[in-house]
Amino acid sequence: MALGYCASRREAEGWIADGRLSLTDGTVLEDDPRIEPARLKADGEPLDPAPLTLILHKPVGFVCSTEDPGRLVYDLLPARFRRRDPVLSVAGRLDKDTSGLVLMTDDGQLLHKIISPKRKVEKLYQATLARPLRGDEAAIFASGTLTLQGEKTPCKPAGLRAVSDDGKQVEVRLTEGRYHQVRRMLAAVGNHVETLHRAQIGGLDLGQLGPGDWRALTEADLKAIFAEQVSKE
């Protein structure tokens, strides 16, 4: 394994023999010297960092789990990412009919930090409802007493507000990650979610990423994930 990828020594030697490895100045490697990863390129591209964390704008129709039927979010990424060891895991899955911000990482500690309820990392969702809000739903969400069907423990306090004049466009802010939580919470107050989009995790948003686009996170991005949480403590 090298730089987060599984490869046999023979495969690595094959890359050198085929001229696929070069230095940043364009010099093609002809042997197996000890070179800093930052100076290497594979197929003309800089090597991916290890560990690797990326942000993806998931379109509707893609699934986050290999156990679910349908096109995988991994299909939106370079094929080489499937060979990483440890594998890239989704930090907070979205269902097939939900679009928006997905974080993927092979950093186990970071993954746990993002999804742990103790960290209280807030997620912002934008939803289109079948019917306008009645007016009492925000108080119910904020009360910490709303219990979902089939569960015994009530949801933690969450934010809900209308963002359109007709009351059908709403924003929901959660610090939990229960199964289909936004849809189920709104169903519990007598409404139905027609479209759902995750716009933000912590202080990180999609920026200019279009559906299906992705990019590796910078150190500033990683800090932004927890920025809003820190500001509230």
Range of the domain at 18: 9-46
Find the CATH number of the domain harbouring 62. Answer: 3.30.70.580
Q: What is the CATH number of the domain that holds 183?
A: 3.30.70.1560
Length of the chain: 233
pTM metric for this prediction: 0.83
Assigned domain for 152 exists: yes
Q: Among 18, 25, 7, which residue's Cα sits nearest to residue 43?
A: 18
Cα separation of 124 and 170, whole Å? 10
For residue 161, the cross-strand partners are 171
Pair 207, 184 in one domain: no
**Does any domain span residue 132?**
yes
Residues 102 and 134 in one domain: no
| Chain mean position to CA 193 | 21
Spot the catalytic one: 18, 95, 165, 205.
Answer: 95
Contact 98/80 with Cβ under 8 angstroms?
no
In a domain, 155, yes or no: yes
| Residue 166 a catalytic site member | no
Q: Which stretches of the chain drop beneath a pLDDT of 50?
A: 1-2, 230-233
CA 168/CA 162 separation, integer angstroms: 7
pLDDT of 172 reads 98
The number of folded domains in the chain is 3
Per-residue pLDDT, 111: 94
> Is 2 inside a domain boundary?
no
Q: How far apart are CA 28 and CA 31, in angstroms?
A: 9
Shared-domain flag, residues 126 and 181: yes
**Residue 20 counted as domain residue:** yes
- B/e letters for 60-99, b = 16+ CB within 10 Å, e = fewer, are eebbbeeeeeeeebbebbeeebeebeeebebbbbbbbebb
In a domain, 3, yes or no: no
Same domain for 38 and 146? no
Residue 180 in any domain: the answer is: yes
**93, 207: one domain:** yes
Let me know if residue 1 belongs to a domain.
Answer: no
Verify that 195 and 127 share a domain, yes or no. Answer: yes
**Digit-coded pLDDT (tens) for 48-78:** 777 899 999 999 999 998 888 889 999 999 8
pLDDT of residue 69: 81
The chain-wide mean pLDDT, for the chain, equals 88
